[in-house]
Amino acid sequence: MTKKRLGLITAVSLAVALILTFAAVGCGESNDQPVEPDEPKLSGTLDLSGSTTVLPLAQEAADMFMDENPDVTVNVQGGGSSVGISNVAEGVVDIGNASRGLKDEEKGLGLEDHEIALDVIVVIVHGDVPVEDLTADQVFDIFTGKVTNWKDVGGPDQAINVVVRDEASGTREMFDEKALKKEAPLAGAIETNSNGIMRQTVSSTPFSIGYISLGYLDSSVKAVKYDGVEGSKETAVDKTYPLSRYLHMFTEGEATGLAEAFIAFVLSDNFQDEVVSEEYIPMTEI
Amino acid sequence: MQGVIDREWIVKKTLFTLAMITVLGIVLLIFFVARESIPAFTEAGPVNLFSATWNPGNGQYGMLVFLTGTLATTAGGLLLGTPLAIGSALFLTQMAPRRARSIMTRGVELLAGVPSIVLGWLGFTIMVPWIRSATGSTGTGILAASIILAIMVIPTITTISKDALEAVPESHLQAAYAMGATRWQTIRRVLLPAAKPGLLVAVILGMGRAIGETMAVALVIGPASVFPKSLTSPTHTLTTKILIEMGESTGVQRSSLFAMGLVLLLLSMLLILLVRLVSRQKETMR
Amino acid sequence: MSTDLKTGVEIARPSVEVVGDLCEFKDSRIEGIIQQSIARNEKRAHFYDRVATVTVWTLSIIGLGILAFIIFVILYRGIATALTPGFIFGKPQALKEGGGIWPMIVSSFYLALLTIAIVLPLGVGAAVYLTEFSREGRITRLVRFGADSLSTVPSVVFGIFGMVLFVIYFGLGYSLLAGAFTLALLNMPTVMRTTEEAIKAVPHSYREACLSLGASRWETAKKIVLPSAMPGITTGVVLTVGRIVGESAAVLYTVGLFVRKVPVSPLQPAAPMAANIWHMYTEGALVSDWMRVANGEAAFLLLVVLVLNLGARLIARIYQKRLGMVS
C-alpha cells in the first residue's frame, strides 16, 4: 500500500518536474509554427501591451504578422493605455498601445508616436428621443448639466438621462476635451466602462444620451448630428466632424527591428484597408 | 548517524522556510501596495484621499464614495444572505432528513464553486434587466450588487455556521429534548446561544468575502463615481474602482487606487483580528 | 410535569411555583386553570415550532432554488446558443463573428497546472512543518496568522500586487508565470489548511509505530504521514484547480484577457476563460455575437468547475473505500 502511495507522490513530483522543464524549455524557444524556411528573414519575440480598445486590432495584426513570419512570436496584452505607455517606457514591452495621446507627465519619456487608426465618436440617444440634431453648445449644456430637460433642446418634456464613459476611458478623455472644453460632465451621470455597455445602457434607458465609437454603432440606438454634421468616415476625413481621436502605438525612441516591421505591417495598405477599415477609419484615407 | 541528524535539520529548516512564505507573502503584499500608494499620501494627502469627490482631472482623489459603496453593498449582501445561510445551516444540522441533507451539502459546495465572473455575468444579463423593468432605473447599483453578494456569502456563512452548530455538544440538545422542549425551543434557547460566537465568526468571514468581491459586483454596480441617489442608481465600490481604472491611470491617480487597495487590506486584516477576538472569547466561555 | 415546564416555556414559570404551593390543597379549580395554561403554552410552543420548521425549510429551498436557477440558466443558454465543437475548439475572433474559445480553455488549464506546481510544494511543506516539525507556539501562530491574512485579501488586491511585483518588478511581463506566482500565493492558505486537516486525520499510532522503529521524523512524514494523507491532499488540489480556473480579478492584470493563439511558453501572455468573459463584457461588442461567446464561455467554465467539484468528491470516496478495506 505504502509503495502505491509513494508511487503517487513520485508521479506528482514528476509532473511538477515535467512542467518546470517544460517551462524552462518554453521560455527558450517557442516555435510551434510549421516552419516554412523559404525566406526566414524575421525571427524573435515582440511584446505589446496597453489599451484594451486597441487590443482586438493589435491581436488581429499579430496573428496575420505571425502567419507571414513563422519564426516570430508576437504577444499582445491589454492592461490599459497608461499601462502600455509606462511598460514601453520601462522596457517591459516593445510597443505600448494607447487609445489616447501622451499626457503632459508622459511627454518626457522619449516615446515615438505611431498613429494607426482614427476613431470617430458619435453622440447617440435612446430611440424614443425625437431630436435629430444637436448644436455643439447644446451638447455641452446637456453633458455639463446646464440643460436637464429635453424640451430645452427641442424635445418632449422629459428629464435627460446622461450617460458618459468612465474616467479611465480614452473616449471620455477625448469627449471631455473636444465637446466639453475640458469641463467635467455633470456628477450624476451614469458611467459605463465600455462601448458595448454604453450602447446597451443608452438603448435600454428611456430619454438617455451618450456617445460611442462609430464601429459600435448599430440600430439599437440613434445617432444624432453634431452641429449639423453627421459623424461618419467621410466627415471625419474631410475634418468637418470634430469628434475623433487617433489610436496609437508607442515605441521607445525610433522603432527598430521587429517593432519597426510590425508597425509597418499595421500601417500597410493591406492591413489598413482589410482590417482597420471594418471598425475605424484607416490611416490610408486620411 | 551524523548524516541523519544533518538531513533532519536541513529538512526542518526547509519546511520552516516554506511555512514562513505565508508570512513573507502578506508582508510583501502590504509592502508593495503601501509603497505604490505613497505618492497619493504625500502629493494628495490623507484629507484629499478620504474626501467625497473623485475628480482626478481636478486633483481630487476622494475615496469616500467607493468606501460607502463597499460598506453599503456588504451590508446589503449580509442582510439578504445571512438569514438564508443560517437557515440552511439549521436545516442541515437539525431538520433535514438524510437524503435532503446530502443534497443540501452538495448544493452549498457547488454554490461555493461558481466563479464570481459567471455569477456577475448572470446578474448583468438577467437580474439587471429585471430590476430595470421593475423600477424604471438603469437596474444597476447597490440593490443588484447586494443580491449578488448575498448569493456569494451563503456558502461561506452556511459552512462555518454549520460547523459552529455541530460543535454544540449533543448532550445539551438531548437534555432540552428530554425535558419536553420542542425542536424550535431547543434551537432558540439552547443551540443558538451556545453557537453564537461561531455564528458571529461565520458572518464576519462572510463580510470579508463580500468586501473583497470584485468581478461579480463590477458587472452590476453601475458604475458611477458618485454617491447613489437610490438603491438602484449606479455607484462604485473600492474593488470595482481599482479594477476598472488601474489600467488607464497614471501618477497620483494610479497611486490613489493603490491607496484604496491598502484600505481594503486593512479592512480585511481588521476582520481577521475580529475573528480572533471572538474565537478567544468563545474559548474562555467554555 | 413541572420540570418540563421550567425548561420549556418561559411564560409558564410562575404557574410552576403556584403548582408547588398549591399541591397540598388539591384545589381542582386552580389545577384546572393551571392545566389549561399549560396546554395553551404547549399549543403555542408547538405552533412556533411548526412555523420555525416551515421557515427553515423554505429558506433552504430558496437557497437551493437559487443554485438550481444559476446552473440551469447558465448551462441552458450556453448549450442552446454556443457550445458546439466548432466553438470549443475554434479560434477567437476580434473583429469578426463566429469566434471560438480554444486558446482560453488551454490558458485556464495551463495556468492551473503552473499554479499547482508552485503552490503544492509550498502548501504541503508548510502543513508538514506545522503538524510534524513544530509545537504550537509563537511561530505556528505567526504562520497561521499569515495564512489567515492571505486568505482574506481581496483577489483584486492580489492582482495589482502581482502586477507590481511579478509583472513589472521581476520583469515577467503579462505572462502565465506571473499569474501562477500570484495565484500560488492566493491559494497557499487553502492548500496548507486542507493538507493540515488531512495530516491530522492520520492516526497517531501510525506515526508512533514508525518512530519507535527508529525512523526519523522526516522519514515518518515521507513514508507514513503523507501517503496516508494523500486522499485529503488530492481532494484539496482538485478543488484548488476549480478556484484557479474561476479566478478572474487576480488574473486580469497579471496574465491577460484576450489572445488568439494557444499559449506555448509560460512567459507568454494568455487569456483564461474567466478573464476573457470580462474582456467580452468591456470590449467584446466590436463583434455582434459577443453575447453568444460570453454565454458559451460562462457555460463551459461552469461545467468545468462542476466537474472538478464532483471529481474531488469522487476521489475522496474512492480513497475512503480503499482505506476502509485496508484498516
Cell, residue C243: 478556484
Can you give the pTM of this predicted structure? Answer: 0.86
Name which residue leads in pLDDT, B77 or C227.
B77
- Average pLDDT over all residues of chain A: 83
Report yes or no for ipTM above 0.85: yes
In a domain, A261, yes or no: yes
Asked if residue A144 and residue A88 are part of one domain, the reply reads no
Residue C3 confidence class, pLDDT cut points 50, 70, 90: very low
User: Model confidence over B216-275: pLDDT tens digits?
Assistant: 999 998 777 888 888 988 889 999 999 988 887 888 999 999 999 999 999 999 999 999
Closest-CA residue of C relative to B184 is C49
Say yes or no to pLDDT of C1 above 60: no
What is the C-alpha separation between A222 and A131, in angstroms, rounded? Answer: 10
What is the C-alpha separation between B19 and B14, in angstroms, rounded? Answer: 9
Q: Which of C4, C154, C291 sits opposite B212 (nearest CB)?
A: C154
Phi, psi angle pair for A191, to nearest 5°: -100, 140
Task: Give the pLDDT mean for B38-49.
Answer: 94
CA distances to A68, C126, C265, C282 from C176, in Å: 26, 24, 8, 22
- Average pLDDT over all residues of chain C: 87
Task: Give the pLDDT mean for B94-115.
Answer: 91
Question: Grid coordinates 488581429 are at which residue?
Answer: A60
Q: Given this model, what pLDDT does residue C316 score?
A: 81
Q: Given this model, what pLDDT does residue A278 score?
A: 82
What is the C-alpha separation between B22 and B34, in angstroms, rounded? Answer: 18
- The residues with which A111 forms a beta bridge, in sequence order, are A252
Q: Given this model, what pLDDT does residue B61 score?
A: 93
What residues of chain B lie within 8 A of the CB of C160, using their CB? 33, 36, 242, 246, 257-258, 261
Q: Given this model, what pLDDT does residue B247 score?
A: 81
- Cβ contact (<8 Å) for C129 and B215? no
Q: Which of residues 109-168 of B touch A (CB under 8 A)?
A: 129, 132, 136, 138-139
Asked if residue A177 and residue A126 are part of one domain, the reply reads yes
- Cβ contact (<8 Å) for B29 and C249? no
Determine the 3-state secondary structure of A94 from DSSP.
Answer: coil
Residue C4 confidence class, pLDDT cut points 50, 70, 90: very low
Cell, residue A143: 453633458
Q: Given this model, what pLDDT does residue C10 score?
A: 43
- Cβ contact (<8 Å) for C145 and B23? yes
What residues of chain C lie within 8 A of the CB of A278, using their CB? 95
What is the helix, strand, coil percentage profile of chain B, to 5? Answer: 80, 0, 15
Q: Which of B92, B106, B258 sits opposite C160 (nearest CB)?
A: B258
- Residue B111 host element (H or E): helix B98-113
What residues of chain C lie within 8 A of the CB of B117, using their CB? 246, 248, 274-275, 277-278, 298, 301
Interface membership of A30 toward C (CB under 8 Å): yes
Cell, residue B188: 432558540
Q: Given this model, what pLDDT does residue C15 score?
A: 47
- Residue A124 host element (H or E): strand A111-125
CA distances to A203, A229, A241, A274, C124 from A121, in Å: 17, 12, 10, 21, 54
- Average pLDDT over all residues of chain B: 91
The most confident of B24-28, B106-110, C278-282, by mean pLDDT: B24-28
Asked if residue A126 and residue A108 are part of one domain, the reply reads no
What is the C-alpha separation between C115 and A210, in angstroms, rounded? Answer: 43
Q: Given this model, what pLDDT does residue C219 score?
A: 86
CA geometry: angle at B91 spanning B88 and B95, to 5°?
175
User: Model confidence over B184-194: pLDDT tens digits?
Assistant: 999 999 999 99
- What CATH architecture is C87-326? Orthogonal Bundle (1.10)
Which CATH number applies to B64-285?
1.10.3720.10
Residue C130 confidence class, pLDDT cut points 50, 70, 90: very high
Q: Given this model, what pLDDT does residue C299 score?
A: 96
Q: What is the dihedral of CA A90, A92, A97, A100, to 10 degrees?
A: -20
- CATH classification at residue A82: 3.40.190.10
**What is the percent of chain C where pLDDT is above 70?**
90
Task: Give the pLDDT mean for C300-311.
Answer: 94
Asked if residue A161 and residue A100 are part of one domain, the reply reads no
Q: Given this model, what pLDDT does residue C12 score?
A: 42
Spatial neighbors of A177 by CB under 8 A, at least 6 apart, are none
Q: Quote the domain boundaries for residue A55.
A: 44-119+246-285
In a domain, A31, yes or no: no
Task: Give the pLDDT mean for B53-80.
Answer: 93
Interface membership of C327 toward A (CB under 8 Å): no
What residues of chain C lie within 8 A of the CB of A20, using their CB? 117
Residue C318's Cβ-side half-sphere holds a number of Cα atoms within 13 Å equal to 10
What is the C-alpha separation between C325 and C327, in angstroms, rounded? Answer: 6
Say yes or no to pLDDT of C323 above 80: no
Question: Grid coordinates 538531513 are at which residue?
Answer: B7
Q: Which of B118, B242, B265 sits opposite C301 (nearest CB)?
A: B118
Task: Give the pLDDT mean for B115-119.
Answer: 95
Stated length of chain B:
286
Characterize the bridge pairing of strands A190-192 and A225-226.
Answer: unpaired
Q: Which residues of B72-84 are buried (b: 16+ CB within 10 A; e: fewer)?
A: bbbebbbebbbeb
- Cβ contact (<8 Å) for A19 and C264? no
Q: Which residues of C66-95 are buried (b: 16+ CB within 10 A; e: fewer)?
A: bbeebbebbbebbeebbbeeebbebebbbb
Say yes or no to pLDDT of C6 above 80: no
Q: Given this model, what pLDDT does residue B250 score?
A: 83
Phi, psi angle pair for A119, to nearest 5°: -110, 125
Task: Locate the domains of chain B by residue range.
Answer: 2-49, 64-285
User: Model confidence over C248-289: pLDDT tens digits?
Assistant: 999 999 999 888 889 999 999 999 999 999 998 887 777 888
Q: Which of B91, B126, B219 sits opposite C56 (nearest CB)?
A: B91
Cell, residue C154: 481581496
What residues of chain C lie within 8 A of the CB of A15, using their CB? 117
Taking alpha carbons only, the member of C257, C273, C129 closest to residue C188 is C129
Q: With beta carbons less than 8 A apart as the criterion, state whether B38 and B233 touch.
A: no
Q: With beta carbons less than 8 A apart as the criterion, state whether C167 and A49 touch.
A: no
Q: Given this model, what pLDDT does residue C135 score?
A: 85
In a domain, A39, yes or no: no
Asked if residue A181 and residue A191 are part of one domain, the reply reads yes
Phi, psi angle pair for B60, to nearest 5°: -110, 120
Residue C67 confidence class, pLDDT cut points 50, 70, 90: very high
Q: How many CB pairs under 8 A join A and C?
A: 124
Characterize the bridge pairing of strands A244-252 and A95-98.
Answer: antiparallel
In a domain, A33, yes or no: no
Q: Given this model, what pLDDT does residue B5 score?
A: 66
User: Model confidence over A171-221: pLDDT tens digits?
Assistant: 888 899 899 988 888 877 888 877 888 888 898 888 999 999 888 888 889
- The residues with which A72 forms a beta bridge, in sequence order, are A44
- Cβ contact (<8 Å) for B247 and A191? no
Residue B284 confidence class, pLDDT cut points 50, 70, 90: low
Query: Which chains share 3+ C-beta pairs under 8 angstroms with B?
Result: A, C
Asked if residue A142 and residue A114 are part of one domain, the reply reads no
Task: Give the pLDDT mean for C278-304.
Answer: 89
Q: Given this model, what pLDDT does residue A196 score?
A: 80
Residue C20 confidence class, pLDDT cut points 50, 70, 90: low
Say yes or no to pLDDT of C127 above 50: yes
CA geometry: angle at A43 spanning A40 and A45, to 5°?
160
- Cβ contact (<8 Å) for A75 and C268? yes
User: Model confidence over B156-195: pLDDT tens digits?
Assistant: 999 999 999 999 999 989 999 898 888 899 999 999 999 9
Asked if residue A172 and residue A147 are part of one domain, the reply reads yes
Per-residue pLDDT of chain A (286 residues; tens, 9 = 90+): 444 454 555 555 545 554 444 444 344 344 444 444 445 578 889 999 888 888 888 988 998 999 999 899 998 888 788 888 988 998 888 999 998 888 888 888 889 999 999 999 999 999 889 999 999 999 999 999 999 999 999 889 988 989 998 777 788 888 998 999 888 888 778 888 778 888 888 988 889 999 998 888 888 899 999 999 999 888 988 889 999 999 999 999 888 889 999 999 999 999 999 888 888 889 988 7
CA distances to A277, B51, B96, B108, B112 from B221, in Å: 34, 21, 36, 25, 21
Q: Where are the alpha helices (DSSP H) in chain A?
A: 2-28, 55-68, 81-90, 136-144, 170-178, 195-204, 233-237, 257-267, 269-271, 277-279
Closest-CA residue of C relative to B261 is C157
**What is the percent of chain C where pLDDT is above 90?**
57
Count of domains forming chain A: 2
Asked if residue A68 and residue A210 are part of one domain, the reply reads no
